[in-house]
Amino acid sequence: MIISSDTTYKGGLTLIKIDTSYQDRCYVFEKRNGKIVNRTDRCCLRQGLWIFTDSVGNYSTCFYTDGNDFGKWKSYNKYGKLLKETEEVSLGQKHYITKEIDYSGCKAVTIVNMPFWGFYITYFFIVIPILVFLSIVRILLNHHIYNIENNTNYSLFGNRFKLAVNESGQLRHELLSTFTIFFFRYKPENKPAVVISNLLSLLCFGSYAILIIGPMACR
């Protein structure tokens, strides 16, 4: 049912002037220049592109998913010039602004720009299992490397939980396998494994650093 062909007001904000507005209980949407905007589903949750206009004609755009507006917000003046760009991600009840750039002056001012942190949070439940798996692979590689470097044949899992005093060599071997980050000196036959181990260390420890520092750097 068509209920309006003019500007619509909602939530104290003026929705940008549209061609046609439709309503069916909670299911509401508007059509602007052939595009469906400002839509709520049958559960009254905002979905898709929403456009808001203030009293002087400036407007903001955002995409909603199931009523959630965490994502990209862009603000424009009434002439269509971009004034501000913001990106927000969420993990559980925590929300982080990973990008905020102000274009309102003569020069763009970057307030926050943490794309890697935003990526890790967006795909958190995919990234973490991969990082854990790569960390285990790195330890297994280091175990192999140290056995060759020291001419030993320690088992990585053999006595891990029952180390005796006279097995300090195995304890040292396991600690080195776990906590060595980079190899600088190694036997020629270890070179391929060392290159892979160093790359995995760079990836794993860099990723863990981003996960730790990210919440402190974002707003």
Domain identity same for 76 and 133: no
| 79: phi then psi, degrees, rounded to nearest 5 | -95, 0
The domain tally of the chain equals: 2
Domain identity same for 13 and 95: yes
Q: pTM value?
A: 0.66
Residue 142: inside a domain, yes or no? yes
pLDDT band, residue 202 (cuts 50/70/90):
very high
Cβ neighbour number for residue 46 with a 10 Å cutoff? 20
Residue 33: inside a domain, yes or no? yes
Most confident of 37-46, 90-99, 130-139: 130-139
Cβ neighbour number for residue 150 with a 10 Å cutoff? 13
Residue 129: inside a domain, yes or no? yes
**Which of 68, 94, 114 is at the close of a domain?**
114
Domain identity same for 94 and 174: no
pLDDT band, residue 199 (cuts 50/70/90):
very high
How far is 1 from 131, CA to CA, in rounded Å? 52
Residue 140: inside a domain, yes or no? yes
Domain identity same for 129 and 204: yes
pLDDT in tens, 21-51: 555 667 788 887 788 888 888 888 888 888 8
Domain identity same for 110 and 17: yes
What mean pLDDT comes out for the span 173-201?
91
Domain identity same for 92 and 11: yes
Domain identity same for 20 and 110: yes
Q: Is the pLDDT of residue 175 over 90?
A: no
Return the exposure string of 165-185: e unless at least 16 CB atoms fall within 10 Å of the residue's CB, then b.
eeeeebeebbeebeebeebee
Residue 119: inside a domain, yes or no? no
Higher-confidence residue of 87 and 170: namely 87
Domain identity same for 58 and 144: no
Contact at 8 Å (CB) between 101 and 219?
A: no
What mean pLDDT comes out for the span 190-209?
93
Domain identity same for 171 and 93: no
Domain identity same for 99 and 32: yes
Nearest to 203, CA basis, from 113, 110, 141, 146:
141
> How is residue 27 written in tokens?
């299911």
**Which of 114, 137, 170 is at the close of a domain?**
114
Q: In terms of residue numbers, what domain contains 174?
A: 124-217
At 176 the pLDDT is 85
What mean pLDDT comes out for the span 120-149?
92
Domain identity same for 97 and 139: no
| 209: phi then psi, degrees, rounded to nearest 5 | -65, -40
Domain identity same for 180 and 154: yes
